[in-house]
Amino acid sequence: MLFSKRSLALDPEAECERIGSQLAHAVRRTLRKQGIVLGISGGVDSSVVLALSVRALGSERVKALILPEKDSDVESEKLAMELAAQCGVTPVREDLTAALEGFDCYGRRDRAIRRIFPEYDPAAGYKAKITLPPSLLEADTLNVFSVTILEPGGTPHTRPLPPAEFREIVAASNFKQRSRMSMLYHHAELHNFAVAGTANKNEHDLGFFVKYGDGGSDVKPIENLYKTQVYQLAEYLGVPERIRLRPPTSDTYSAPATQEEFFFRLPFETMDLLWWAMENHVPVPQAAAVMHLSEEQVRRVQTDLARKRRATEYLRTQPIGMEQISLLTVTPGGASGESLVN
């Protein structure tokens, strides 16, 4: 198959028309709702979904929520407000800090961090984040997380994150996404609106979302678009340049962390093209030549993409009813196992 750096180029006008038409049909005809609720974060994905929703249904049928908590970057809220004004939408602000404190979100997370860094004290100005090893293009390292704390003066310290503490930090932090989902559905039910998700293909297919958190929605307008394609729509839709040029962040941890260092480990321009090449069975030598990479680098990236997808398949799996599961079977050797019935 022909492969080039233009393989992901879209006709933005046609794509916006296609998504808008399908979005309006899904909300009004399939879901029988009056409009759309979505969370806006000042990021490019939610900006594009807001703009598409307004084009499809009109600003009076779109509710945009800004959902900060005490670890949120203040710049995110400023950008979200700017975008809402441009789209003709008056946003609703719901601060989730108190709800998260009620869940002991921050305390559960901080106790795990202090087992690694006893000096860590958010009240004294310390901040923290978790990250994966740097670029896959440089070294073949596994997806093993580290935790970084920043002293009040900004000096960083990084240590490996043991599995138990990793699970504890992630489980506590996921209260944030699940609390946002709950607030979105509260407002959706107030107005008989549908909740629009903002996940793109990278996030959905590779598992960069929280099940029943930011993965919970009624419609997913950009789920089939690579991140670089979302940027193409953002430019066409007139999303402010400050949003389009801002590095995508997780905006989950108190210390700043880009999506690249937190999960993806590659620039989107590189990852998306190598992923497209893999999905379309482009030979590795051809992909390497087009991308000016070695064949080893291409294989390394594509192996990582496949590994992430396998490891996060459970996030995309619907709840399993017991009628789907066969009875335990015993093999001749005495081992037992389960088989799933389609």
| pLDDT > 70? residue 334 | no
CATH code of the domain containing 279: 3.40.50.620
Residues 230 and 277 in one domain: yes
Domain annotation covers residue 322: no
Mean pLDDT within 207-235: 97
* Strand-pair partners of 131: 146
pLDDT of residue 263: 93
pLDDT of residue 325: 73
Mean pLDDT within 3-31: 98
- 199 and 215 Cβ atoms separated by less than 8 Å: yes
Domain annotation covers residue 300: yes
Instruction: Return the percentage of the chain with pLDDT > 90, whole number.
Output: 89
pLDDT of residue 250: 83
Among 140, 168, 196, where does a domain finish?
168
pLDDT digits (tens, 9 = 90+) for 78-89: 999 999 999 999
Measure the CA–CA gap between 74 and 87, rounded to whole angstroms: 21
Backbone angles phi, psi at 214, to 5 degrees: -70, -10
Q: Which domain holds residue 73?
A: 12-100+169-316
Say which amino acid occupies 245: L
- Full-model pTM: 0.92
Mean pLDDT within 237-247: 96
Estimate the crossing angle of helix 284-291 against helix 268-279, to 10 degrees. Answer: 160
- 208 and 177 Cβ atoms separated by less than 8 Å: no
For the stretch 24-31, contacts whose Cβ atoms lie closer than 8 Å and that sit 24 or more positions apart, written own/partner, are 24/56, 24/57, 26/194, 26/219, 27/56, 27/57, 27/194, 27/219, 31/194, 31/218, 31/219
In sign, the C-alpha dihedral spanning 306, 166, 129, 64 is positive
| pLDDT > 90? residue 326 | no
pLDDT of residue 58: 98
Closest by CA to 274, choosing from 252, 319, 306, 243, is 306
Domain annotation covers residue 333: no
Sheet order of strands, 127-131 included: 127-131, 146-150, 156-160
Residues 137 and 232 in one domain: no
H or E stretch covering 233: helix 227-237
**Tokens at 293, concatenated:** 């990479």
| pLDDT > 60? residue 198 | yes
Say which amino acid occupies 303: T
pLDDT of residue 333: 47
Residues 142 and 176 in one domain: no
Residues 19 and 56 in one domain: yes
Among 168, 191, 211, where does a domain finish?
168
pLDDT of residue 331: 47
Domain count, the chain: 2
| pLDDT > 50? residue 342 | no
| pLDDT > 80? residue 182 | yes
Domain annotation covers residue 231: yes
pLDDT of residue 142: 79
Residues 129 and 185 in one domain: no
User: Looking at the chain, how many residues does it have?
Assistant: 342
Residues 159 and 92 in one domain: no
Instruction: Return the percentage of the chain with pLDDT > 70, whole number.
Output: 95
Domain annotation covers residue 227: yes
**Tokens at 75, concatenated:** 């710049």
Mean pLDDT of the chain: 93
Residues 112 and 226 in one domain: no
Domain annotation covers residue 302: yes
Residues 252 and 121 in one domain: no
Residues 254 and 175 in one domain: yes
Mean pLDDT within 50-63: 98
- Would you call 314 exposed, middle or buried from its count of C-beta atoms within 10 A (0-12, 13-18, 19+)? exposed
Residues 63 and 111 in one domain: no
Residues 242 and 110 in one domain: no
Least confident of 26-40, 117-131, 211-225, 323-337: 323-337
Residues 155 and 57 in one domain: no
Q: Where are the beta strands (DSSP E) in the chain?
A: 36-39, 62-66, 92-93, 127-131, 146-150, 156-160, 194-195, 329-330, 336-337
